[in-house]
Amino acid sequence: MTTLMERINRKKMKLAGLENRRSKKIPFVIVIDISGTMELNDNIGKVNRGLQAFYDVLLEDPKICDSLDLSIITFGGEERVHLAVDFDDIRNQAVPTFEAYGNTPLCPAIIMALDNIEDQIDAYHSIGISNTKPIMLIMTDGEPSRYEYAELVENGEEYWVADPLQKTDMEFTEAKSKFDRFRKMTDMEVHIIALGDEVKDLYFLEQFSTGLNSVKRLEDTDILAFFEHLTISVGTLPVAFDANPNNPDPFQVFDVFERFKKGNLSTYS
């Protein structure tokens, strides 16, 4: 988990990275499940290839590089929650190769994402850079678990398990409260992608959605195609803002989520 001193140091680095990049910014954070179940059907491999292809195409457009600020946060893996790629000039970023392991601590990942967006927006404003409302994309193939593992003993042997997240857990109530405050303050847009068919209970995902139809199911066979269309959609954002900077909902370009949905998961509809 992120300490206060780490956040302070990152803010300093953010300011340094923005000195020569003063155009209007679009903060976009991708929150990715890299828990053990992502090994199924090579979903983690598809995500790795899709992210790399996504970056490769964005790098070809100087306007996107100047306008779009990307961050990647993972949940699962050995570190459980990790700021894998901090906001910076896309041209200076390297996309890691992720491995699938461990539990699914969604709530701490959302808190880290919100903190990082908040710090980035603070950095913009401190040197007079304007920004659009933030975008968050969450991709997961399972229901969330608690951050801490539970220790069990069976037949004299100790082992660790990831308990499912509960509605009364403090990590959920804190994440939900922070999310609601931040959403009200920034009008952040969130899109949630459930990979495959293992997400049965949508309650927790819906708590972090931002409107009708914002929770979608994606076949794991469509992961690479999804990133291709995401690239096209993200690439239109700078042009959309230039054409109509006062548009209250410029993120309508994200029709990519409509193209790939496998039935609407949300109970809103």
Quick one: pLDDT band at residue 264, thresholds 50, 70, 90? Answer: very low
Helices (H), the chain: 4-18, 43-58, 62-67, 106-126, 170-186, 203-207, 223-235, 237-243, 256-260
Among candidates 94, 135, 122, 113, which has minimal Cα distance to 179? Answer: 113
Question: What is the distance between the alpha carbons of residues 211 and 87, in angstroms, rounded to a whole number?
Answer: 26
Length of the chain: 269
pTM of the shown model: 0.87
Question: What is the distance between the alpha carbons of residues 111 and 105, in angstroms, rounded to a whole number?
Answer: 11
Burial of 228: CB neighbours in 10 Å, binned 0-12, 13-18, 19+? middle
pLDDT of residue 260: 56
Question: What is the distance between the alpha carbons of residues 176 and 56, in angstroms, rounded to a whole number?
Answer: 34
Tell whether the model's pLDDT for residue 265 goes beyond 70: no
Better-predicted residue by pLDDT, 177 or 11: 177
Tell whether the model's pLDDT for residue 236 goes beyond 80: no
Better-predicted residue by pLDDT, 55 or 63: 55
End-to-end CA distance of the chain: 36
pLDDT averaged over every residue in the chain: 84
Q: What sign has the CA pseudo-torsion 217, 222, 224, 226?
A: negative
Better-predicted residue by pLDDT, 166 or 230: 166
Tell whether the model's pLDDT for residue 18 goes beyond 90: no
